[in-house]
């Protein structure tokens, strides 16, 4: 579904990604591990068109999308849930969900999907008329995920969905990600909780200082001494 090939992305003279390549197959959950500043969010933003690489290709379903506006890339089915969630705090919960469906014309289908979101997370239904800014961090993350699903993504880019959440809420968010994956949505996941990310992924990559240093099946990386030492808290 997605092939990133030899991508170089820079901020002025600072090269954040240096020849990065990865693949995401249809229906897979792929996680991207790396320390803060490794370039993970830069890669997500390059794929979604927020940043334009100096060189390299981002091929989605056979089309090189480098140079397309972010909105056009979204139209093609790549939907990002950014770090910090990016909800509209001054809009209601219901209005946020409707924003996720703003390109759709199937009114009945949109309502059905909103009803399903409320069924999965009753707290969103209870607060549908309240401004999203009053929700807790975990509730905002749930809203961000459900809003993304309203746009019917083919590829969902999740940037640090567990950041700042309590352990209980992290488990709930990951349960939701598992449910999303089970519906067939392809996911590229950037996540600080390496253990949980690897447990729900089929493949994984490690990004260090803007370069891919390791890749393989998630089970292989779970057993890797390097990954254990760097990301899983092993002695």
Alpha carbon distance, N-terminus to C-terminus of the chain: 37
Indicate if 131 and 202 belong to the same structural domain.
Answer: no
**Are 1 and 51 part of one and the same domain?**
yes
**How many domains does the structure of the chain reveal?**
2
CB-hemisphere CA count at 13 Å for 214? 19
Answer whether residue 120 shows pLDDT above 90.
Answer: no
Residue 73 near residue 51 (C-beta atoms within 8 A): no
**Are both 3 and 72 inside the same structural domain?**
yes
What percent of the chain clears pLDDT 70, i.e. is strictly above it? 99
pTM of the model: 0.90
Statement to judge: residues 140 and 158 lie in one domain: no
CATH code at position 218: 3.40.50.300
Any domain includes 179: no
Report which of residues 233 and 159 the model is more confident about. Answer: 159
Same domain, 18 and 103: no
Q: Residue 60 has what pLDDT?
A: 98
Indicate whether 6 and 117 sit together in one domain.
no
pLDDT at position 105 is 87
Same domain, 107 and 137: yes
Instruction: Report the pLDDT averaged over residues 7-18.
Output: 96
The domain boundary, picked from 129, 152, 175, lies at 152
Answer yes or no: is 231 within a domain.
Answer: yes
The band of 84, judged by pLDDT with boundaries at 50, 70 and 90, is confident
Q: For position 233, what pLDDT does the model report?
A: 61
β-strands 29-33, 186-190: how paired? Answer: parallel
Q: What is the CA radius of gyration of the chain?
A: 18
Mean pLDDT score across all residues of the chain: 92
**Arithmetic mean of pLDDT, 62-91:** 92
Range of the domain at 100: 85-152
Distance of CA 104 to the CA centre of its chain: 21
């Amino acid at each position: 579904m997605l092939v990133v090939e030899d991508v170089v992305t820079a901020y002025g003279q600072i090269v954040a990604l240096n020849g990065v390549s990865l693949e995401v197959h249809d229906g897979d959950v792929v996680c991207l591990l790396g320390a803060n500043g490794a370039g993970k969010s830069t890669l997500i933003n390059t794929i979604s068109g927020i940043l334009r690489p100096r060189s390299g290709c981002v091929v989605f379903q056979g089309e090189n999308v480098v140079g397309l506006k972010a909105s056009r890339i979204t139209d093609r089915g790549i939907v990002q849930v950014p770090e910090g969630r990016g909800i509209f705090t001054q809009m209601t919960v219901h209005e946020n969900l409707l924003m996720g469906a703003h390109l759709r014309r199937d009114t009945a289908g949109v309502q059905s999907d909103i009803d399903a979101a409320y069924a999965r997370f009753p707290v969103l239904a209870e607060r549908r008329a309240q401004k999203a800014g009053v929700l807790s961090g975990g509730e905002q993350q749930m809203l961000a995920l459900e809003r993304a699903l309203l746009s019917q993504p083919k590829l969902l880019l999740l940037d640090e969905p567990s950041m700042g959440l309590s352990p209980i809420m992290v488990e709930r968010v990951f349960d939701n990600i598992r449910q999303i994956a089970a519906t067939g949505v392809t996911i590229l996941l950037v996540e600080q909780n390496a253990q949980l990310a690897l447990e729900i992924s089929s493949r994984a990559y490690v990004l260090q200082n803007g370069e891919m240093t390791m890749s393989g099946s998630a089970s292989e990386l779970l057993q890797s001494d390097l990954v254990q030492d760097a990301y899983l808290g092993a002695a």
